[in-house]
Structure 1
Amino acid sequence: MHALNVVWLRNDLRCYDNAALSSAVEDASKSGAAVMALYIATPKTWQLHDMAAIKQDLIRRRVLQLQQEMAALNIPLLAVEGSSYQQVDVVFTALCRQFQLKVFVQTEYELREQQRDAAIEQLVLANMGQFIRFDTQCLMPPGTVRTQQGDYYKVFTPFKRSWLAQLQQQGVRCCARPAMLPASNLQWTQQVMTDLPAMKEADNSSQQWPVAETQVLQLMRNFCRDKVADYQQLRDYPAIDGTSKLSAYLAIGVVSAAQCVARLQLEAADSWLQEKSGAAVWLSELIWREFYKHILVAYPNLIKHQPFQEDTAAIRWRNDTTLFNAWCQGQTGFPIVDAAMRQLNQTGWMHNRLRMISASFLVKDLHIDWRWGERYFMSKLIDGDFAANNGGWQWAASTGTDAAPYFRIFNPVSQSEKFDPKGDFIRYYLPELAALQGKLLHWPHTTGGIKAYCKPVVDHAVARKLTLALFAEVKQKNEH
């Protein structure tokens, strides 16, 4: 029976800094085993996870591109289509019948994914194979950054302090792209393909996002070299292209957190540790990403959509479907919220400041359960990532870690005036307001406003009082 090293790709769709791939190639060079990469698309499971159509398209386009990049290394990438995680078993059963397997994978943190991996590991081991894991989604894997008592951190600031201390102590190491292997003549494709069809082509809805690994690495380098210095000043203004736009690539692993940090240290060597420099603030965003993944591992109930602060499960949300639909469609009568939601619906991406404003508005102005918004974002975002999305929504709803105190409620009009002062962003997504100037653009419902725009669905001052009452009711019950 031939020996075969299988690199089972999931959210690590890259050749550079891919520990599973590098280890499989290194092992093969010593053992003489053949190497193949494997990707299994599972649309039904994606649907169950509310994965956005545009993200599914990005994955498909990236896998097809990665097939070419791997072919240049003489590594065939088998991309097949199962309906759900149950079909993963079909592929590995077929491979186990034909080969002596070593499976190389990057660890996944979500519950269903862990169950899937445990089942495949048992299958491979039962067939005398090996299942080798690499915990490389985070630069500091969950469990490696702990308090002095050995617990997971529940608050971001001390987590960040400890994370940075560890970074300085151990540094960053990225794997090189593996060397080209000798051509292999193993006949594996037909036998496996009889069990599952080839992965379907993409629909190109993510066409605006390049998928070649070299292009994505260049975007990262350009940002760290040319833009990161201004990141702190510009990152909150949605009309300005001041963010890295790497979140979609981090979510599916075209680029790794380690690559981002290594490049940042190289390009901003003098400033990445200076408090409030652009480089330090961007690094802080990468640490937030890691923090939420650590929290997800420490508190697996979050994957079941439970609030981190358990008492907030008792909040009596109003959950008005008419108001929810107005929010989804960008028809609330609050220009910054509506422009944000239209950006999401039209492009599959939303500026981070707008994510906070629109999330706060749904929960604290419309009194709708944060889980409705969390799910809607996931169904639209090209960079949808469970841990980050859940963490962000719970932060906005004051139900999570580091929760903004419940009495901190964004005023959508003053946020609009502050972060889109000239109204360029609002005008772009709300052309019906294009003729308005100054304060009228941010609040077009006074005399001299415009009739073509929808009326406000709530009174912010009244809604604010109701939010305080909803939270106070729960807090008082707990105190008693």
Structure 2
Amino acid sequence: MKALFWFRRDLRLYGNEALIEAVQSGARDALFFVSKKQWEIHDAAPIQIDMALRRVAELGKMLAQYGISLHVIEAPLFSDQITSLCSLVEQHKFKQVYANAEYEINERARDKSIAHALESGGVGFRLFDGDVIAKPGSIRTGSGEMFKVFTPFKNAWLKANFDFHAIYNVWPLSENPINWATPDTLMSDGTSAKWPIDDQTLRMITEAFIDEKLVTYKEKRDFPAIKGTSGLSPYLALGIVSVKQLLGAIQSKFPDILQQTGRPEFCWINELVWREFYRHLIVEWPHLCKHRNFNNKYDYVSWRDDDESFRLWCEGKTGYPLVDAAMRQLNQTGWMHNRLRMVVASFLTKHLLIDWRWGEHYFMRHLIDGDLASNNGGWQWAASTGCDAQPYFRIFNPITQSEKFDPKGDFIRKYIPELQAVPDKYIHFPHDYLALMKDIDYPKPIVDHKAARERALLAFKVE
């Protein structure tokens, strides 16, 4: 049977059940759409787009070794994808199209239209759930509803996956390699060059994390000056590695990790479950994809339309060193430490009382690991408007966060070089010291912590 595999945010060969099923069913053709206009509409960061194009070029070369031809087609919008796919199917007489499901509202609507168009012509369209361990909708309360709080969801998720072990299907090798030339549409501008995209290097990175960092992840993950995190989030966001692959690799070293949740190694698994939680949420409540508050009680919060304060936050010029260093890390590298994402989000929404959607948009436009479900979930958690959000009266103090998680100011000094000479005693809020040092140019705080906290508490008391 002539079949076609369609790559989306699943840019991998191994651990890609949908692709393997397609190849075993006779597929010798694969497809990727370059949809720059649609990506722009969805706020995809240029650095993430560049990484995706580099990876697709790598995939094309790998697939050619197995006799599989990758078609790279420019389709500016989702509507163009539908038209182009139907034309390609008709041209090559494909009888089946395989792909991995995408869970955002526009992507699901596109797939519904494609399924109807293909099936009306006698062509099958089969979607796999390759981006999650538990299929959205499969983890429910006893009354059949979706969980609205993370911990009960996690407990149910663990119960449902108690015996889960990733199974690696054998890749169907071919003895007939073909020639494949990288098309101009996949040319990289180099912005993501510091992130390797070849499988050999990624395997080394993954193994090093599991063998060396996983056991200390829980104690080191909150310190941005330490490389204590996995660094795998960009690869998960683009499906270059799969969540099942990662969990399976961890299980090979810690076979009972899903049953021993008290182990320090489980702390990182917990982050994967958060990732699943946010995906299940956007399927259950599609309005989250439209940037609406999950908790409509807070629809009446009077956000401040303060363009100047927002600009200073974006540029890392708030006068709070940890906040500023975090924003400069994002602007310079396209990535931000997870603890700092919470700190800067809390600062924007609570200290500055600026709508979380402004920050959500800015993050997506700059993050190499941008992901709608997780980004939306994280921002609404910080703003106290979301599902399982922190209570509105919990407001991160950027000074104490700095003292706790960057005690010597190493991270601050890395991204705010003008504060290099400031002693550790003053580095977390250096303004008294700077008043005596006229030659150091660092902005004064744009808001007083105590006053901003009181303003936020008043604004959120809407019940």
| Smaller-chain TM-score bracket | over 0.9
Structure 1 residues 315 and 68, CA, compared in 2 at 3 Å: closer, same or farther?
same
Tell whether 2:410 aligns with 1:416: no
Please state how far the C-alpha of 1:35 moved relative to its aligned partner.
1.9
1:295-306 matched pairs, under 5 angstroms: 295-306=281-292
- TM-score (structure 2 length as normaliser): 0.95
Please state how far the C-alpha of 1:257 moved relative to its aligned partner.
0.8
Q: Answer whether contact 1:42 1:84 (CA < 8 A) is retained.
A: yes
Please state how far the C-alpha of 1:103 moved relative to its aligned partner.
0.1
From 5, 8, 14, the counterpart of 2:6: 8
2:157: which partner in 1?
163
1:22-41 matched pairs, under 5 angstroms: 22-28=20-26, 34-41=27-34
| 83-92 or 237-246, larger mean C-alpha shift | 83-92
For residues 446-480 of structure 1, give each alpha carbon's deviation from its aligned partner in whole angstroms, at most 9, with x where no partner exists: 145544110100001000000000011x11xxxxx
Please state how far the C-alpha of 1:251 moved relative to its aligned partner.
0.6
Q: Answer whether contact 1:106 1:136 (CA < 8 A) is retained.
A: yes
From 81, 100, 123, the counterpart of 2:117: 123
Tell whether 2:458 aligns with 1:465: no
Q: Answer whether contact 1:224 1:268 (CA < 8 A) is retained.
A: no
Q: Answer whether contact 1:37 1:78 (CA < 8 A) is retained.
A: yes
Alpha-carbon distance between aligned partners in 2 of 1:273 and 1:206, rounded to the nearest angstrom: 38
Q: Answer whether contact 2:44 2:365 (CA < 8 A) is retained.
A: yes
Structure 1 residue ranges without an equivalent (≥5): 29-33, 191-196, 476-480
Alpha-carbon distance between aligned partners in 1 of 2:198 and 2:343, rounded to the nearest angstrom: 33
Q: Answer whether contact 1:41 1:79 (CA < 8 A) is retained.
A: yes
Please state how far the C-alpha of 1:198 moved relative to its aligned partner.
5.8
1:478: which partner in 2?
none
Q: Answer whether contact 1:139 1:258 (CA < 8 A) is retained.
A: yes
Alpha-carbon distance between aligned partners in 2 of 1:236 and 1:212, rounded to the nearest angstrom: 28
Tell whether 2:201 aligns with 1:215: yes
1:50: which partner in 2?
43
Specify the SS of the correspondent of 1:232.
helix
Q: Answer whether contact 1:417 1:439 (CA < 8 A) is retained.
A: no
Please state how far the C-alpha of 1:215 moved relative to its aligned partner.
2.1
Structure 1 residues 325 and 175, CA, compared in 2 at 3 Å: closer, same or farther?
same
Tell whether 2:176 aligns with 1:183: yes
The aligned amino acid for 1:82 is: A
Alpha-carbon distance between aligned partners in 1 of 2:442 and 2:184, rounded to the nearest angstrom: 48
The aligned amino acid for 2:24 is: E
Q: Answer whether contact 2:6 2:98 (CA < 8 A) is retained.
A: yes
Specify the SS of the correspondent of 2:185.
coil
Structure 2 residue ranges without an equivalent (≥5): none
For residues 61-108 of structure 1, give each alpha carbon's deviation from its aligned partner in whole angstroms, at most 9, with x where no partner exists: 000001111112111111222211122123223223221331001111
Please state how far the C-alpha of 1:27 moved relative to its aligned partner.
1.4
Please state how far the C-alpha of 1:199 moved relative to its aligned partner.
2.6
1:201: which partner in 2?
187
The aligned amino acid for 1:300 is: P
Alpha-carbon distance between aligned partners in 2 of 1:168 and 1:356, rounded to the nearest angstrom: 31
2:320: which partner in 1?
334
Please state how far the C-alpha of 1:180 moved relative to its aligned partner.
1.7
1:220-235 matched pairs, under 5 angstroms: 220-235=206-221
Q: Answer whether contact 1:101 1:124 (CA < 8 A) is retained.
A: no
Alpha-carbon distance between aligned partners in 2 of 1:324 and 1:143, rounded to the nearest angstrom: 37
Structure 1 residues 87 and 271, CA, compared in 2 at 3 Å: closer, same or farther?
closer
4+ runs deviating over 6 angstroms: none
For this pair of structures, how many residues does the alignment match?
459
From 74, 78, 98, the counterpart of 1:81: 74
Tell whether 2:47 aligns with 1:61: no
Please state how far the C-alpha of 1:270 moved relative to its aligned partner.
6.2
Report % sequence identity.
45
Specify the SS of the correspondent of 1:440.
coil
Alpha-carbon distance between aligned partners in 1 of 2:452 and 2:345, rounded to the nearest angstrom: 14
From 236, 242, 250, the counterpart of 2:236: 250
From 72, 84, 102, the counterpart of 1:108: 102
Please state how far the C-alpha of 1:182 moved relative to its aligned partner.
5.3
Tell whether 2:165 aligns with 1:172: yes
From 7, 17, 27, the counterpart of 2:15: 17
Alpha-carbon distance between aligned partners in 2 of 1:254 and 1:217, rounded to the nearest angstrom: 11
Q: Answer whether contact 1:239 1:425 (CA < 8 A) is retained.
A: yes
Specify the SS of the correspondent of 1:60.
helix
The aligned amino acid for 2:220 is: L
Please state how far the C-alpha of 1:177 moved relative to its aligned partner.
4.9
Alpha-carbon distance between aligned partners in 2 of 1:335 and 1:273, rounded to the nearest angstrom: 41
From 375, 379, 392, the counterpart of 2:378: 392
The CA RMSD over aligned residues, in Å, is 1.9
From 271, 285, 296, the counterpart of 1:285: 271
Alpha-carbon distance between aligned partners in 2 of 1:309 and 1:89, rounded to the nearest angstrom: 35
Specify the SS of the correspondent of 2:96.
strand
The aligned amino acid for 1:402 is: D
Alpha-carbon distance between aligned partners in 2 of 1:341 and 1:144, rounded to the nearest angstrom: 37
1:239: which partner in 2?
225
Specify the SS of the correspondent of 1:342.
helix
Q: Answer whether contact 1:80 1:198 (CA < 8 A) is retained.
A: no
Alpha-carbon distance between aligned partners in 1 of 2:256 and 2:18, rounded to the nearest angstrom: 33
